[in-house]
A and B are shown apart, each in its own frame.
Chain A
Amino acid sequence: MTSTASVVRRAPSSSGLYDVLDLILDKGLVIDAFVRVSLVGIEILTIDLRVVIASVDTYLRFAEAVDRLALQDQGGKTLPELFGGGSNGEQRSEGRELEEGDEEAEEAPKKRTASRAKASSKG
């Protein structure tokens, strides 16, 4: 996955597990009683952003992210200490991990956020 090249080329979808999951998991025609698949360990790989967004935890994470950006913008001289060395390593999105996670789907499923309930505290 290169982000530097300006030219984007069409890639086969079967290369990354996340791409495949996103493409085929709940797509395609259903022939009534004949879908016989156990999705244990797979469906929990996909994280529902809508769920994640509307929670106090998420708001606090966003607040932290804003703090972090502010610190970076101040020059970044003493940053490595604040982040326990390497201000970059910890900011990787989960998306990237999944993208490269590949064959580990069954062994190390991510936990799906427990409930779809919307945030209870507003304002």
Chain B
Amino acid sequence: MTTYVYAITRPGTAAPDLEGVGGPVRVLAWEQLAAVVSDVDVDGELPATARGLKAHARVLEALATQATVLPLRFGTVVDDDAAVVEQVLRPRAEALAALLDRFTGLVEVDVRVLDEDEVLLREVVSGDAAVQALQRKVARVGPTAGYYDRIRLGEHVAERLRQRHAREVDDVVAALRPLAVDVKVKEPSLQGLVVDAALLVERDRLAEVDAAVDAVARKRQDLTVRYLGPNPPYSFTVGEV
């Protein structure tokens, strides 16, 4: 039996009563640190299933509502509980304690703006004379003869759309940055996703952040705003420790 490690926290954090990646979730305290773990039967590699990923996220979410947590990368597995202390906690005790101090009272919220109905594409096309001229030409000559014109039209539109998206990102970040300790803008990884931003905010100021995100959403009701959190500082704890 191996031990799955979700996160590092401080002793005294309660184990969420949830079905984890493996067995029940436990908190393993050692000196000034604690690891949140589950028994899991992994021989070789843990498959990244949708269920496993969601279970991992749910445990971390539950922890983030009550405590300061450092999320570990999905799929962190060690031999047993003793190895959690000897191989994970003890060798990097100082670094982990420093990170816990740094993130005390802070949570991540994530704001995503989606353009599901091609609203921004419409804006780009209707507001650009060059696009319309190219479009008329393409329509006149037909698909075969207009092959390269179609590519040029598409290239032009793609570039304009990229600029339009960048402006949207700037607007959203400008509206929310004053409330955040830190902001990470992620490269949208999905078609239709315009803004993908992670904000590191004080848990005590969540109500203010809620209101600011709501104001962003009200401004652009033709776009869809997804607002997630509070989460542990996933986007701000990237890399090796």
Q: Check A93–B192 contact: CB distance below 8 A.
A: yes
A23 in contact with B48 given A28-B234, A60-B151 (CB within 8 Å)? no
| Cβ of B190 under 8 Å from chain A | yes
Q: Once bound together, how far apart are the Cα atoms of A17 and B122, in whole Å?
A: 29
**Chain B 102-115 interface mask (CB, 8 Å, partner A; 1/0):** 00000001101011
Determine how close the nearest CB of chain B comes to the CB of A2; give it in whole angstroms: 9
Q: Once bound together, how far apart are the Cα atoms of A95 and B130, in whole Å?
A: 29
Instruction: Name, among B46, B58, B118, B190, the residue most crowded by chain A CB atoms within 10 Å (CB to CB).
Output: B190
Interface residues on B, range: 35 or more
Identify the B interface with A (CB < 8 A).
Answer: 5, 8, 42, 44-51, 53-54, 56-58, 60-61, 70-78, 87-88, 92, 99, 109-110, 112, 114-118, 121-122, 125, 131, 135, 138-139, 150-155, 157-158, 161-162, 186-193, 196, 206, 210, 213-214, 217-218, 221, 224-231, 234-235, 237-241
Q: Once bound together, how far apart are the Cα atoms of A95 and B161, in whole Å?
A: 17
Interface residues on A, range: 35 or more
Return the 10 tightest CB-CB contacts between A and B, nearest first: A37-B75, A59-B154, A93-B192, A62-B154, A27-B234, A38-B45, A95-B192, A63-B154, A28-B71, A105-B50
